[in-house]
């Protein structure tokens, strides 16, 4: 298998009136071709900013360092002209709210054909045909008619499909999906997830799925990366994360989720406290104020990521302790 995306020591910082804020620190991961990576974390964990940096879409006050090697080319620091040869062509991103990415003044046909004319040099007619075929592929009924509509004439689920269709027009090798179904109802979410799944299987597309919903990750992803306070705290295969979580935050997250298939007559496990403010991170490990295993070492030093295998990493001073406590926590 070949590597499609390799991220080395990526850091993202923002200059704010209150000083510099680190949104993502020392991020390292690789993604194989045809695989999907789930990135999970709470709001402010930095999960979106990593990929905004890779796409060259950071806000003006943002700065990035490190490497993001996509198909052999480092995207960070690439001039916009060069970046545009990649973005929307072999690397696409879709967002939570389709209305913020679609231009409300332009018909869908214009927004779609534009991409093909610009990137693939198609003429108007064949670009339109291709757009209609793509809308059909993502499951929009009467695509031939609806391609000439404006975004507001579509429902939320349909708009998300239009956005996916645009992202897929040039058949990208990697699709980054940032909370693609969070704003949608469950029945529509099921439709979109099924669509993404079949695209991955049929087109061999790699997918990065950024979400806070562990259920979506369980169904969609091969690997998982858990973020907290701007750092990766644990990575592993989907089975390792769901069946053998080692970081206390990952464990807490899994146990605090209400489950439709779980035990419903007891209180939920709740992680105490609040998610950290990136402008005032606690000393040492960012999770220590909420962690039941925290000790003096956790309060003073940032835990270094420890690799257990090629894809398995945990950043916790108490890996062994946490591991031993898993069965105890389950029976409690």
Specify the pairing of strand 73-74 against strand 62-70: antiparallel
Our CB check for another protein shows the closer of 74 and 277 to be: 277
The H-assigned helical ranges of the chain are 47-54, 80-83, 98-101, 108-120, 124-137, 143-146, 156-168, 186-203, 214-220, 238-243, 248-256, 296-300, 319-331
Our CB check for another protein shows the closer of 86 and 232 to be: 232
x/- letters, 256..275, toward another protein (CB under 8 A):
xxxxxxx-x--xxxxxx-xx
Q: What are phi and psi of 127, to 5 degrees?
A: -65, -40
| DSSP codes, 134-191 | HHHHTT-TTHHHHTTS-GGGS-HHHHHHHHHHHHHTT--SEEEEESTTTTS-HHHHHH
Q: How many CB atoms lie within 10 A of CB 124?
A: 11
x/- letters, 4..43, toward another protein (CB under 8 A):
--------------------------------------xx
Our CB check for another protein shows the closer of 215 and 282 to be: 215
x/- letters, 272..291, toward another protein (CB under 8 A):
x-xx----------------
Shortest CB 186 distance to another protein, Å: 4
x/- letters, 186..225, toward another protein (CB under 8 A):
xxxxxx-xx-----------------xxxxxxxx------
The footprint of another protein on residues 158-177 (CB under 8 A) is: 158
Q: How far apart are CA 251 and CA 193, in angstroms?
A: 25
> Does position 145 bind another protein by CB under 8 A?
no
> Does position 253 bind another protein by CB under 8 A?
yes
Q: What are phi and psi of 126, to 5 degrees?
A: -70, -30
Shortest CB 69 distance to another protein, Å: 28
Shortest CB 181 distance to another protein, Å: 9
Size of the site for another protein (CB under 8 A): 46
> Does position 142 bind another protein by CB under 8 A?
no
The window from 24-32, 78-86, 108-116, 236-244 that contacts another protein (CB under 8 A) reads: 236-244
The footprint of another protein on residues 85-114 (CB under 8 A) is: none
- DSSP letter assigned to residue 45: S
Q: How far apart are CA 197 and CA 3, in angstroms?
A: 20
Pseudo-torsion of CA 138, 139, 144, 147, nearest 10°? Answer: -60
> Does position 242 bind another protein by CB under 8 A?
yes
Our CB check for another protein shows the closer of 8 and 32 to be: 32
The H-assigned helical ranges of 33-155 are 47-54, 80-83, 98-101, 108-120, 124-137, 143-146
Check: CB of residue 234 under 8 Å from CB of residue 245: yes
> Does position 226 bind another protein by CB under 8 A?
no
**Sites of contact with another protein (CB under 8 A):** 42-43, 141, 155-158, 185-191, 193-194, 212-219, 238-239, 242, 252-254, 256-262, 264, 267-272, 274-275
């Amino acid at each position: 298998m070949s590597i499609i995306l390799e991220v080395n020591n990526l850091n993202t910082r923002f200059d704010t009136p209150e000083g510099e804020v680190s949104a993502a620190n020392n991020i390292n991961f690789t993604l194989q071709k045809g695989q999907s990576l789930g990135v999970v974390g709470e709001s402010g964990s930095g999960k979106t900013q990593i990929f905004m940096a890779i796409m060259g879409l950071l806000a003006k006050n943002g700065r990035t360092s490190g490497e993001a090697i996509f198909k052999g080319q480092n995207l960070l620091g690439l001039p916009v002209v060069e970046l545009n040869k990649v973005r929307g062509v072999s690397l696409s991103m879709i967002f939570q709210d389709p209305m913020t990415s679609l231009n409300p003044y332009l018909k869908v046909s214009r927004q779609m054909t534009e991409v093909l004319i610009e990137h693939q040099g198609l003429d108007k007619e064949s670009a339109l045909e291709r757009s209609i075929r793509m809308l059909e592929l993502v499951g929009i009924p009467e695509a031939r008619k609806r391609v000439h509509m404006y975004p507001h004439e579509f429902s939320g689920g349909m708009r998300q499909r239009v956005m996916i269709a645009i992202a897929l027009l040039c058949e990208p090798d990697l699709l980054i999906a940032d909370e693609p179904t969070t704003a949608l109802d469950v029945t529509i979410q099921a439709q979109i997830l099924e669509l993404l799944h079949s695209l991955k299987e049929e087109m061999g597309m790699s997918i990065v799925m950024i979400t806070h919903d562990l259920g979506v990750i369980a169904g969609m992803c091969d690997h998982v990366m858990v973020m907290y306070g701007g750092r990766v705290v644990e990575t592993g295969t989907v089975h390792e994360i769901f069946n053998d979580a080692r970081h206390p935050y990952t464990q807490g997250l899994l146990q605090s989720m209400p489950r439709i298939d779980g035990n419903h007559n007891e209180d939920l496990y709740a992680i105490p406290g609040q998610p950290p403010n990136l402008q005032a991170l606690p000393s040492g490990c960012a999770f220590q104020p909420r962690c039941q295993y925290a000790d003096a070492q956790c309060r003073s030093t940032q835990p270094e990521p420890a690799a257990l295998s090629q894809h398995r990493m945990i950043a916790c001073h108490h890996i062994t302790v946490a591991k031993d406590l898993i069965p105890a926590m389950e029976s409690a």
